[in-house]
Amino acid sequence: MNYGFIIDNRKCIGCHACTVACKAEHNVPLGVNRTWVKYIEKGTYPHTRRLFAVHRCNHCADAPCVEICPVTALYSRPDGIVDFNNDRCIGCKACTQACPYDALYIDPETHTAAKCNYCSHRVEVGIEPACVIVCPVHAIISGDMDAPDTEIAQLLAREQVQVRKPEKNTRPKLFYIEGDEVTLTPTLAPQNSDYMWSSQSQPVGHGRKSLNGQMELHTGDGSLLHTLLEKPESLLSAPQPARHRPLATLLESARRVYDTPSEGVMWGWEVPAYIWTKAVAAGTVLVPFVAKSFGLSAPTPTTFSTGVLLGLLFLGLTGALLVRDLDRPERFLSVLLRPQWRSWLVRGAYTITSYGAFLGLWLIGEIGGLRSLQSLLHWPLIVLASFTAIYTAFLFAQAKGRDFWQSPGLVLHMLGHAFVAGSALLFLLSFPLPAMAGDRLLLARVLFGSLIFSLAVLAFELTTPHATTDAHSAARAITRGLFAPLFWGGVVGAGLILPLLLLVSGSLFLITLAALLSLAGMFVNEHIWVRAPQLIPLS
């Protein structure tokens, strides 16, 4: 048994009966939807036509939301339905980043993830989903795709169908008959603020909270953001009048005229902050331990002890920020007690827990004078610190909805930042801790080398051709759009180039300033890398 949906666009009239029936069946709150209808208009009057696009969960055979969920709140059933258990959900919002189809939302009442579950409670007793029953023109067809006598199997056999984002290899089971590309590809019909019902565009619940402090960037549902992200050059030149454009162009132009509220930025300031604190927690240990292992220098015992203490302190801050980001923080222990091992959230949680335990053992060895124990822990700490620094890159790679995060350079990006953070902070602490003064030259050299490395990785991530339009749009937003002033001024200028110049000056004061600037620039970098891809529309 393998359940799926077909949306027959030859019949759909855009009546929203499916949306209303779904809301009534599942008591879906205002402002969020499990199934919704987007209106697209193509052309310019009088040469226009309207298209309808019914969106919902695609019940993917290889569902990225199931893979990334740390507590098995989302799971694939034997009958092919991707279902969820909100009693387990911790509100980490990872599933919303993993879904390429924007099908998941955070319920503003339960603060847990939710989506279309194929009305599994109805299917189990032999009744079709509510949206199928209510559709007045039979434009929604459901059923077992593996049974040759079902209507959906016969339609799939004889009709040409389309799916959304087939390049994601999720094997979606929501098919469209005569699905127009502009209705299936979000960026082909930009978000605008000048259509009827656009006042509904402000998100609710978590989405509204995530936009606090940046509402000045929005007009309606974010057309200014779209302009800055996708077409920054359009701010500098007036659009060409319609009467001067070829008829073929007018016929193919497309815009949204009805849509649902944006979910906003799901991963807010806590995520870049925890990546920053995690880099510090890893880097303050990696710098002295690696330096000793590879014979670069023999750091003082104070530098080792300070690095381990800072590792524990910032690891605690990392854990606090991770819990702070959850919409159901009281359930945070479920990640360790009910782990879903394919999720890098789980693997990361166990990595930092193990790392913290080994750091504690090292300190016990230091207090008790157990040098043999410390020697035994030396290489395991290097390995755990390295994995602590980079595991988030693998988590971001599981977030298949955000193409920019699929960069092969992200591991190197985070490893480089760990060495920047560790060397910079240890250098700053060498002033209140004079016993570390002898390591300042080593720390300055490591900082210089790690800044050069980070600059090279940054250039690689942004100049390497991007595989998808969404990834290219996010990179464009960073270098030429909304984030360009912050990126070039805060990250490249103040966070990389200026510290490098200050480091070669030889002045102790200027090197101290370089360490401070590099730490600040690193945080700005993480902020941009986390936020920019989330502003690319997925539906």
Strand partners, 82: 76
Mean pLDDT for all residues in the chain: 88
Please report which residue ranges of 236-269 form alpha helices under DSSP H.
247-252
Full set of structural domains in the chain with CATH: 3-10+56-178 (3.30.70.20), 270-535 (1.20.1630.10)
Who wins on pLDDT, 295 or 232? 295
* pLDDT > 70? residue 223: no
Q: Mean pLDDT over residues 245-260, rounded?
A: 62
**pLDDT score, position 30:** 86
* pLDDT > 60? residue 147: yes
Closest CA to 140 of 14, 19, 16, 6: 6
Phi, psi of 468 (to 5 degrees): -130, 165
Q: Mean pLDDT over residues 346-360, rounded?
A: 96
Half-sphere exposure of 46 (CA within 13 A, CB side): 0
* pLDDT > 50? residue 140: yes
Mean pLDDT is lowest, of 96-110, 224-238, 517-531, for 224-238
Q: Mean pLDDT over residues 349-376, rounded?
A: 94
Q: Mean pLDDT over residues 212-239, rounded?
A: 38
> Which residues contact residue 158 at a Cβ distance below 8 angstroms, ignoring those fewer than 6 apart?
none
**pLDDT score, position 245:** 42
What pTM was estimated for this model as a whole?
Answer: 0.89
Who wins on pLDDT, 282 or 217? 282
Q: How far apart are CA 296 and CA 450, in angstroms?
A: 14
The tens digit of pLDDT for each residue in 26-74 reads 999 988 999 999 999 888 878 888 899 999 999 999 999 999 999 999 9
Look at the chain and count its residues: 539
Q: What percent of the chain has pLDDT over 90?
A: 76
Q: Do 422 and 285 touch, CB atoms closer than 8 A?
A: yes
**pLDDT score, position 156:** 95
Position 497 confidence tier, pLDDT thresholds 50, 70, 90? very high
The secondary structure element, H or E, covering residue 70 is: none
The tens digit of pLDDT for each residue in 175-188 reads 999 998 988 988 88
Strand partners, 76: 82
Q: Mean pLDDT over residues 3-27, rounded?
A: 95
**pLDDT score, position 198:** 52
Position 210 confidence tier, pLDDT thresholds 50, 70, 90? low
Phi, psi of 349 (to 5 degrees): -60, -40
**pLDDT score, position 205:** 61
